[in-house]
Amino acid sequence: MFGRKKIYSDEPKVTKDNVIDILREALVEHRRNREQVDYLYWYYRGKQPIYQRIKQVRDEICNKIVENRAFEIVSFKAGFLCGEPIQYVNRGEREDIGEEVRRLNDYMVLCNKAAKDKKLVTWKYICGTGYRAVFANKEWINTPSPDVAPFDYYVLDPRNTFVVYYSGPEEYPLMGITYVKKHDESTSYSVYVDGYYYEITDSNGKYAIAHEEARPRKNIPIIEDPLNESQLGAFEPAVPLLDAINTIQSNRVDGIEQFIQALTIFTNCDVNPDDIQKMRESGFIALHSASDRNNVGVDILSKELDQTQTQTLIDYLHQTILDIVGMPNRNGGLSTSDTGSAVIMRDGWETAEAMARSDRLLMEVAERQFIAQVLGILRETVGTKLSVSDVDPKFTHRRGYENIQARAQALQMLIGCGMDKADALVQVGIGTDPLDLAKRMRSTTEQVGGGASA
């Protein structure tokens, strides 16, 4: 597996006449992606190739040990990137939209966006891509309420969802599809295109449009959110090494068990041939020497596995996996006199931060598409004067109190050099909303200055 493949169509526009043909063509590529996504999902759950292990010698001792590092990698990265809710802040200098931005954040709380973002990011780190969908909330439309958001936000299963793009240089999305298998083995596809919705059924390979309707909003509510350009999962490049660790650990336990259940050897002893198989099953072996019949003995056949060399190999594989996926190690190093910054660099936390920033770049693209659709729904329901350019998503995956003294000193130096407070706050990475924080800093400064002069 080398990542998921983006799905294209040569048709520049989807209509009722060609929607089924485009869907059938896209399903060929989607099914390949789906098979890989399903494999990675169950690998993350612990269903790994070691369970198919076959041992040729002493097959009665065949341990199958899963050291599920894939789960550890996904859990760490998802928590590191989205352990705190994504906050929307005022991107420009407009002071009249502060209340609008706060209301937008309130709506995100009402629709449980933080928890759903965590689910979305988990899918992305498992299989390299995720899908989200935004719809107008029918409950709110029927009965407007301040306790319910005017929109619904869903995270869709990548095994049953995909987006088709135009194959031209623009690569704009043509349609978003999600589907379900029914009890009668038929499949129902929900197909969203620009301004239309089609429900297409597949019964034994016969496709038909079961329902169609015009949609008031000219958009595709299903948004693809890839982790990277190749749509590789977080642990996918390290799968061979993860399998190797499972194999070594299984052999390691086999070695211990075989040492405990060592075979007993009878040398030049008369043994009833009918009992040899029973003795073999019980851990006995009978040997006869043609040259020395007087050499009679009973011994234990045992050879203990070198655990030190085995652990060295496992440590190497584990460290290599951490290097590939960009996770920090927790061995603490050998020095006890390192500064805080040196520990962050040495133990790989800076690498983890750099990879999280890289993951965040593509997610910001999907976030802005999400914001555009949310704002479109808000304009049609409660009304809003926000535009996409007014809102900036802020990820708080790095806590602001790390190296706080050095940051505060850098902030003071930059402000002393004449830099605007908001720009200085952005540079040193303090706070999730630099504009709001700078405004409050100015207000505090004016109050302190006014009191002093009075």
Q: Has residue 304 got a pLDDT over 80?
A: no
Neighbours of 52 (CB within 10 A): 7
- Answer whether 414's CB lies under 8 Å from 396's CB: no
Using alpha carbons only, give the angle 422, 425, 426 rounded to the nearest 5 degrees.
Answer: 90
User: For residues 233 and 62, which has the higher predicted lDDT (pLDDT)?
Assistant: 233
Q: Give dist(CA 37, CA 34) in Å, integer.
A: 5
Q: Has residue 372 got a pLDDT over 70?
A: yes
Q: Can you tell me the mean pLDDT for 325-338?
A: 67
- pLDDT of 412 reads 85
How much of the chain exceeds pLDDT 90, in percent? 47
At 427, the amino acid letter reads Q
Range scoring the smallest mean pLDDT among 141-145, 228-232, 239-243, 312-316: 141-145
Report strand pairing: 129-136 vs 284-287. Answer: unpaired
Q: Can you tell me the mean pLDDT for 400-413?
A: 73
- pLDDT of 349 reads 82
User: For residues 407 and 445, which has the higher predicted lDDT (pLDDT)?
Assistant: 407
**Could you give the count of Cα atoms lying within 13 Å of 319 in the half-sphere of its Cβ?**
10
- pLDDT of 190 reads 96
User: For residues 56 and 383, which has the higher predicted lDDT (pLDDT)?
Assistant: 383
Q: DSSP string of 204-232?
A: TTEEEEEEEEE-SS-S-SEEEEESSTT--
Range scoring the smallest mean pLDDT among 121-130, 233-242, 291-300, 440-449: 291-300
- pLDDT of 403 reads 66
User: For residues 81 and 419, which has the higher predicted lDDT (pLDDT)?
Assistant: 81
Sign of CA dihedral 219, 220, 222, 223: negative
Average pLDDT of every residue of the chain: 83
Q: Has residue 231 got a pLDDT over 60?
A: yes
Strands annotated E in 34-107? 87-90
- pLDDT of 305 reads 61
Q: Has residue 48 got a pLDDT over 60?
A: yes
- pLDDT of 453 reads 40
- pTM of the prediction? 0.81
Task: Extract long-range pairs of 37-41: CB within 8 Å, 24+ residues apart.
Answer: 37/4, 37/126, 37/127, 37/158, 37/159, 38/159, 39/1, 40/1, 40/126, 40/127, 40/233, 40/236, 41/126, 41/127, 41/159
pLDDT band at 452 (very low <50, low <70, confident <90, very high): very low
- pLDDT of 449 reads 58
- pLDDT of 299 reads 54
Q: Give dist(CA 401, CA 299) in Å, integer.
A: 65
pLDDT band at 180 (very low <50, low <70, confident <90, very high): very high
Q: Has residue 289 got a pLDDT over 80?
A: no
Q: DSSP string of 423-446?
A: HHHHHHT--S-HHHHHHHHHHHHH
- pLDDT of 434 reads 66
Q: Has residue 398 got a pLDDT over 60?
A: no
For residue 136, give every residue at least 6 positions away whose Cβ sits within 8 Å of its Cβ, in sequence order, or none: 150, 151, 152, 377, 380, 381
Q: Can you tell me the mean pLDDT for 256-283?
A: 62
Residues 74-103 pLDDT 10s: 999 999 888 888 888 887 767 778 888 889
Q: Can you tell me the mean pLDDT for 388-412?
A: 75
- pLDDT of 23 reads 96
Q: Has residue 297 got a pLDDT over 90?
A: no
- Answer whether 162's CB lies under 8 Å from 28's CB: no
Q: Can you tell me the mean pLDDT for 319-329?
A: 90
- pLDDT of 345 reads 55
- pLDDT of 418 reads 82
Q: Has residue 343 got a pLDDT over 60?
A: no
Cα 52 off chain centre by: 26
Using alpha carbons only, give the angle 236, 237, 242 rounded to the nearest 5 degrees.
Answer: 75
Closest CA to 307 of 370, 254, 377: 254
What DSSP character marks residue 261?
T
pLDDT band at 269 (very low <50, low <70, confident <90, very high): low
Q: How far is CA 107 from CA 88, 145, 156, 386, 392, in A?
A: 11, 12, 20, 14, 16
The structure tokens 């619904």 sit at 152
User: For residues 204 and 159, which has the higher predicted lDDT (pLDDT)?
Assistant: 159
Residues 153-166 pLDDT 10s: 999 999 999 999 99
